[in-house]
Structure 1
């Protein structure tokens, strides 16, 4: 598989963002890393290898951007500045980088996948910008970041916390998105996925709540999930 590394300068963040790219053509799939994972995590953990068949045939092109979780949600800063820093990252995605790849597949949209805390990153972006996202694959992801706020709450928190803003969201593109919430009976994020599935159900937003068997919240589960979900693109 062809691999390349992009150093994309973000004016919103004020620094380069590393992006690992696999493949040269196909529908753009953006994979967000776990809690403090980076742009090579999906490759290093075997996630890219698990979807080799789709990449080699030009069905998908995979983009793995670096996260800034270490300086936002997990940063040693006031919660107000944590969410503000994340908003800068969201603007990098929505205004600077994603516009350059969203037409690669001919639809003007991308597919998003996220693993564990990366599931929050993928879901938050997809639900905030559904006009850009055709497919969302949340692999054992979270949907609520209030635990990072230590009681602090403002409009920025609300609009970056899917469990809060989604019940009132009304962008018609939300009803056109293909959504998978992947979890398992032993997943630490099972309850969060069940609750978020209920939010989507109440809004009549079609989705697949994929609850797998007795498997832990770990890479073997996600390596099994990803090829299945990618086959839906």
Structure 2
């Protein structure tokens, strides 16, 4: 495990972002934490152990990042449009600084997988949809993909629209959609148990997102687990251990 600090230079962000790397060889996997989480949350909640055989075998290198949700989506004092604008600054940090670091650290490897749990699943899908050139595979566990349902208020402009997959996916078309169909693969996972419907909205949002992707012919799979499967790290450990080996 190695820890790095990468500057995030934007208004509203008052610290460096942390990236923690696990492993030395294999396909890069960019990991987003759950809501307002930090880079070390994945390890602290047993997720690194869940994929340790892949790390030890040199099949993957994990790059776990900070979320900065407290300055973006989780700041209910901000309008939805302002939250989305700040998310744009975070997105630039990921695609410019973090992706650049991963590229220099893992030269010659395959394109990165993105994954996350809960709000981290939103990040994974959003980055895959908007930057499939960098992140062609997304493994999304218990996500809600509609920021307009996250205690949103205020007028909504372009920033909120383009940060909301449930808004822009229905309007995808032309050559860009053809390219996404050829490039992107999304795995959408949710349980039918506690907290997956209320209060998180993860189960209905996951089902709706799968429907939108199907309408557009974007490659994906919907994997719904049983009534005992809750919105919890215990199950996310098992879900990532089940799905990740297919892609590395």
* Range of TM-score over shorter length: over 0.9
Cα distance in structure 1, aligned partners of 2:83 and 2:36: 15
Q: SS of the residue aligned with 2:192?
A: strand
How many residues align? The count is 231
Post-superposition Cα deviations, 1:84-142, rounded to whole Å, max 9, x if no partner, equal: 11100001111222133147263562100010011111111111111111210000011
Q: Which structure 1 residue ranges, 5 or more long, are not aligned?
A: none
Tell me the residue number matched to 1:37.
Answer: 37
Tell me the residue number matched to 1:5.
Answer: 3
Cα distance in structure 1, aligned partners of 2:180 and 2:109: 16
- Distance verdict in 2 for CA 1:128–1:22, change over 3 Å: same
Tell me the residue number matched to 2:207.
Answer: 194
Q: Which structure 2 residue ranges, 5 or more long, are not aligned?
A: none
Tell me the residue number matched to 1:117.
Answer: 119
Note the C-alpha offset of 1:173: 3.9
Q: Is residue 2:89 matched to residue 1:88?
A: yes
Tell me the residue number matched to 2:241.
Answer: 227
Cα distance in structure 2, aligned partners of 1:8 and 1:142: 28
Tell me the residue number matched to 1:126.
Answer: 128
Per the normalisation by structure 1, the TM-score is: 0.93
Tell me the residue number matched to 1:166.
Answer: 169
Asked whether the 8 Å contact 2:172–2:216 carries over to 1, the reply is no
Deviates more, 1:164-173 or 1:20-29: 164-173
Q: SS of the residue aligned with 1:227?
A: helix
Asked whether the 8 Å contact 1:27–1:110 carries over to 2, the reply is yes
Note the C-alpha offset of 1:24: 1.4
Tell me the residue number matched to 1:154.
Answer: 157
Cα distance in structure 1, aligned partners of 2:155 and 2:246: 39
Tell me the residue number matched to 1:183.
Answer: 190
Cα distance in structure 2, aligned partners of 1:100 and 1:173: 26
If each structure's strand is expressed as a fraction of its own residues, which one has the higher value?
Answer: 1
Cα distance in structure 2, aligned partners of 1:155 and 1:219: 34
Post-superposition Cα deviations, 1:122-167, rounded to whole Å, max 9, x if no partner, equal: 1111111111112100000111001343142101000000001112
Asked whether the 8 Å contact 1:115–1:140 carries over to 2, the reply is yes
Q: Is residue 2:221 matched to residue 1:208?
A: yes
Q: SS of the residue aligned with 1:53?
A: helix
Q: SS of the residue aligned with 2:128?
A: helix
Note the C-alpha offset of 1:14: 6.6
Cα distance in structure 2, aligned partners of 1:191 and 1:198: 11
Query: In angstroms, what is the RMSD of aligned CA positions?
Result: 1.7
Tell me the residue number matched to 1:28.
Answer: 28
- Distance verdict in 2 for CA 1:107–1:120, change over 3 Å: same
Per the normalisation by structure 2, the TM-score is: 0.87
